[in-house]
Amino acid sequence: MSERIGFIGLGNMGRPMAGQLVAKGFATSVFDLSEAPMEILRQKGATRAAGIPAVIANSDVIVTMLPNTPDVQGVVLGEGGLLATGRPGMLHIDMSTIDPLASKAMAAALAEKGIGWVDAGVGRSPAHADRGESSFMVGATDADLARARPVLAAMGNAIIHCGGPGAGISMKIVLNFMSMATCQITAETLALGTKLGLKMTDMNAVISAGLACNEHFRQYWPTKVLAGDTTPGFAIDLAFKDLSIAVATAAAAGVPVITGSAAREAMGIARSVHGLGKEDITAVLVAASRNAGVQTPRL
């Protein structure tokens, strides 16, 4: 593999995705503020970088998987970042869930320096990332996507080209808007049913077989909150961040999102009142159950 990859951001999704690149033979430098995932990847064959400038200096393609817009802006626009120290001909693949307008602005700034940009929103879960089965919603020029495709294909098995720079992250925001709002209505549904005396096993049987079912409820919730596990695969804090970006993006576009805005406020209560921000997204059921005055149901 001739491309040298620099991977920045080794959280629940980033660490297994970087691991897939190493396993598939890419020369990969990694950096994260946490030592533990860097050491795990070093043992698999990655190179531990001392910081962002070192990643940039020793890579042809930079991949970022970071929590929020300012984190990506730091890599691109900050001191020692890609705009300041990158070389013409490099490529940046950003897989973070961030503000689409900021994504487009960074793409334009890097283009002026001859550095390509691919925004590749990631679908599916950390378990899929561990198996190399992530999906990607991509915004890029045809040429940049052609170059990025082998890197993305090493980490996932579905690549959907949604348009030019900014289109991939816009699609991810739309996807997460629906997904996170659905989690909130699912939590309130189960809390209501519990309050009315319905058994969780019966609600599961009826909802799973009906048109109201969703993949979160069918596949993910039985492995998490309904099994008594709220350790974060995808934390409520991140869900709240994604919904906040979606609501702000909708406002800028002049699109009312009344239900989604309410879901965002409910997640804000789960964070601020119930202290569940660091718990898994399915822990919105814990908050909804407390609000209803019932025990959190289990399967």
Catalytic residues: 172
**Planar angle of CA 253, 259, 263, nearest 5 degrees:** 105
DSSP state of 297: P
Per-position DSSP letters for 7-19, written without gaps between them: EE--STTHHHHHH
Parallel/antiparallel/unpaired status of strands 134-139 and 116-123: antiparallel
59 CB burial (10 A radius; 0-12, 13-18, 19+): buried
Q: How far apart (Å, rounded) are the C-alpha atoms in residues 164 and 110? A: 14
Q: How far apart (Å, rounded) are the C-alpha atoms in residues 68 and 94? A: 11
Q: How far apart (Å, rounded) are the C-alpha atoms in residues 133 and 138? A: 16
